[in-house]
Amino acid sequence: MHAHLVCFDPACRAQFDIREVLYNCPKCGGLLEADYDFSALDAPALKRLWRERRMDNAPLNQSGVWRYRELFPFLDDLQHVVTLREGNTPLLPAPRAAAYGGLRDITFKHQGFNPTGSFKDNGMTGGASQARLLGMKRVACVSTGNTSASMAAYASAGGLAPLIFIPNGNISYGKLAQALEYGAKTYQVEANFDQILALVRTLAERLGIYLLNSINPFRIEGQKSIVIEMMDQRDWRVPDWIVLPGGNLGNVSAFGKGLREMLAHGFIDKLPRLAVVQAEGSSPFYDYMAAKGSNPFTAQCHPKTLATAIKIGDPVSWPKAQFEIETTNGVVERASEQEIADAKATIGACGIGCEPASAATLAGIRKLTAAGVIDRDADVVAVLTGNLLKDPDYIYRYHTGQLTAPDGSPIAANFGNKPVLVENNAETLAALIG
């Protein structure tokens, strides 16, 4: 199947060889995406094939990404695939969270069940595999946490040398520990995410290092599998809404692309509406979309949020995200630190843990239902992007009333579950337990 890179800018649409090491269009500077000739696809036959592959023990078919490889055929040699059996993440009902969000029902697509505990694995298997195909030896990323953990694992599994650049003091130890354990050479830089990314892009070109941030179009191709698997798990019934957190905006870009391709080729019969939720202190995309085109996109120089996975002030994928939101008649919302913390505790009370950024989804849903944007009876799937144990310190501080926002203001433990200190006495314990 013919594959190539194409400029995302509709005024350009220049095409390039799929094996060129490119992150932006050399002609206009626009973002790039992988494009394919899908004219021979047979949707009913592929749906059957994908179900059959679930029962196959071959590594590619055990992967919840490469099982669906016909919808992102950018590799002409599958021997280069690096897989840790990523994907295969569950759809989880959560009645208590639904009630909190103002919904009759809600389903969480929990990407925290991935090998390194976040949705980044779906994209990283694609990016790392392309790096091997291109003959690259070293790969790099700038990260506030999840990307570094995922890239370190997939690079090491694929025989590549991982180089990680992180903002000093702005990463949870749960995520940093993963990168160190997986053998990545880690550099803590005295700058924010966006400043470091500009620096590393220069270094990557000079030193022949392959960049694996979400500006890499093959990361986006892997992340399409999240929404493909979601539709497969729902027997191809499209929800009314898919809600996800917004940081660098690679996920909404990938979801929109995957959904449009599935609609165009007969896998689904309509598009769901996409909703992106950002943290108030890191919400440049929300500000831009709320202005409805009256102002140019403006980066936030100093984003502030405890939800570090979405603490990005200059998201590279915003043009793609804007297109996907507008195409699906979607919306962009934002949530405060208090709203995110309370939503996270509510999700936890369902027996479903997640990292802070993930909980932005439920916090946003609560606001959107209250405003009448999302109907109470709507069929809603919310994406939880990362595992509970990505940031355990946040959890402890919330439940013990010690959590504070970036500006130092206290975050109330409205749903706190503080441990109780007791003496070593059976009668005292019995009285407390009741």
Q: Is the pLDDT of residue 22 over 90?
A: yes
Q: Where are the chain's structural domains?
A: 1-37, 91-116+218-399
Place of tokens 């009645």: 95
408: tokens are 């130092």
pLDDT value at position 175?
79
Q: What is the pLDDT of residues 292-328, one digit of tens each?
A: 988 999 999 889 999 989 999 999 999 999 999 999 9
125: tokens are 């298997």
Q: How many CB atoms lie within 10 A of CB 415?
A: 16
Q: What is the pLDDT of residues 240-270, one digit of tens each?
A: 999 999 999 999 999 999 999 999 999 999 9
pLDDT class for 331, splitting at 50, 70, 90? very high
295: tokens are 């102002």
Distance of CA 339 to the CA centre of its chain: 20
Q: Is the pLDDT of residue 357 over 60?
A: yes
Give the pLDDT mean for 68-94. 97
Give the pLDDT mean for 162-178. 83
Q: Is the pLDDT of residue 211 over 60?
A: yes
pLDDT value at position 1?
57
**In contact, 346 and 97? CB cutoff 8 Å:** yes
- Calpha distance 432→434 (Å, rounded): 5
Q: Is the pLDDT of residue 66 over 60?
A: yes
pLDDT class for 39, splitting at 50, 70, 90? very high
Fold of 91-116+218-399: Rossmann fold (3.40.50)
Q: Residue 35 is which amino acid?
A: D
pLDDT value at position 174?
78
Count Cα atoms within 13 angstroms, Cβ side, for 292: 0
Burial of residue 344, with CB atoms counted within 10 A of its CB: 0-12 exposed, 13-18 middle, 19 or more buried: buried
Give the pLDDT mean for 329-356. 98
In the chain, % of residues over pLDDT 70 = 99
- Start-to-end CA distance of the chain, whole Å, equals 67
- Calpha distance 137→141 (Å, rounded): 14
Burial of residue 11, with CB atoms counted within 10 A of its CB: 0-12 exposed, 13-18 middle, 19 or more buried: exposed
Place of tokens 């500000």: 287
393: tokens are 């310190």
Give the pLDDT mean for 93-120. 98
Give the residue among 274, 373, 408 at the shortest CA–CA distance from 329: 274
- Calpha distance 86→53 (Å, rounded): 14
**In contact, 211 and 201? CB cutoff 8 Å:** yes
pLDDT class for 170, splitting at 50, 70, 90? low
Distance of CA 25 to the CA centre of its chain: 24
Global confidence as pTM:
0.95
- Calpha distance 282→287 (Å, rounded): 10
Give the pLDDT mean for 201-215. 92
Sign of the Cα torsion 285, 289, 295, 297 reads positive
pLDDT value at position 195?
86
Q: How many CB atoms lie within 10 A of CB 420?
A: 7
Q: What is the pLDDT of residues 361-406, one digit of tens each?
A: 999 999 999 999 999 999 999 999 999 999 899 999 999 999 999 9
Mean pLDDT of the chain: 95
The stretches of 14-137 forming alpha helices (DSSP H) are: 43-53, 59-62, 95-100, 120-133
pLDDT value at position 145?
79
pLDDT class for 222, splitting at 50, 70, 90? very high
Give the residue among 224, 192, 274, 162 at the shortest CA–CA distance from 34: 224
Q: Is the pLDDT of residue 194 over 90?
A: no
Angstrom CA distances, 202 to 65, 195, 196, 262, 383, stand at 31, 11, 10, 36, 33
